[in-house]
Chains A and B, each alone.
Chain A
C-alpha cells in the first residue's frame, strides 16, 4: 500500500535559520501530497498541498515541490520563527487507495530564539 517516510528525529534550530524536512513516498497511483502542521494542544491544519508532478505548494513562507522522479515532497522555509515550532506531517492521498490519507510519523520542530 501507499506509504510516506519522514526523516527521523526532532529538528532544533535557531530563529531565522533555514528549515528543511524531508519526505519521500511510495504510491501505486497518482497521489496528491500534503503537509499538515500541528501546533501544541491543537489538531492538524493543512499547511500546503500539491496535486501533480512539478507542482509547488506554498503557504506562510513554507514551500514544497512535488518531485515524481525522486518521489519526494520536501518542506522548506527560508527563515523560521519561534511561532513555527510545531509538529509537521507529510501525507498523501491516492484515488487507487480510496482517497485515504497516508501520514508520515511527523517531525517535531523546535525554534530557539
Chain B
C-alpha cells in the first residue's frame, strides 16, 4: 500500500513564525503536491513538484514556498505565518499511470495560526 505521512496532525503557531510542514511518501513517486482545504472552497493546489529540486506554482502559492531535496520528501514552508493561513494542509503523491493519473493523500495537518 502507498503510504504518505505528514509530520504533524495538529499544529499551533503564532503570527510571523516560520512554519515547516513535512511530507514523506514511500512509493518512489515522481510527483508530489501540497493542497489546502477550507470549508466551502474545497481543495486548492499550493505547489507541486515533478522531480527532485523542481517545483511549480499551483493556484494559490502566495505566502508559501516548497523544498524537494529528496524524491520521497516534499516540504511546505510558510515564511511568515498569518492568521489567514489557518487551514487543513494535505500532501499527496502520485505518478502518471496508463489508467489515469492518481494521487495518494496523507492524513493532513490542521494548522492554526494565532
Chain A interfacial positions (CB closer than 8 Å to B): 32-34, 36, 41-46, 49-51, 89, 93, 95, 98-101, 103-106
Contacts and interface: CB of A to CB of B under 8 A. Distances in A.
Contacts of B106: 43
Give the interface size bracket for B toward A.
Answer: 20 to 34
A96 to B, nearest CB: 12
A38 to B, nearest CB: 8
B90 A44 contact: yes
Contacts, number: 55
Interface of B: 4, 31, 33, 40-43, 45, 48, 56, 58, 90, 92, 96, 99-108
A44 B92 CA distance: 9
A43 B45 contact: no
A89 B41 CA distance: 12
Nearest to B45: A100
A33 B101 CA distance: 9
Contacts of B43: 44, 89, 103, 106
A98 B96 CA distance: 10
Contacts of A105: 40-42
A51 B42 contact: no
Contacts of B31: 99
B105 A44 contact: yes
Interface centre among B31, B43, B101 (most CB of A within 10 A): B101
Given A46-B102, A93-B101, 15 more contacts: A32-B100, A43-B4, A43-B90, A43-B106, A44-B43, A44-B90, A45-B105, A49-B99, A89-B42, A99-B96, A100-B45, A103-B42, A104-B42, A105-B40, A105-B42
13 contacts: A34-B100, A34-B102, A42-B107, A44-B43, A44-B92, A46-B102, A89-B42, A95-B96, A99-B31, A100-B48, A105-B40, A105-B42, A106-B42
Contacts of B48: 100
A43 B5 CA distance: 10
A50 B92 CA distance: 20
B42 A49 contact: no
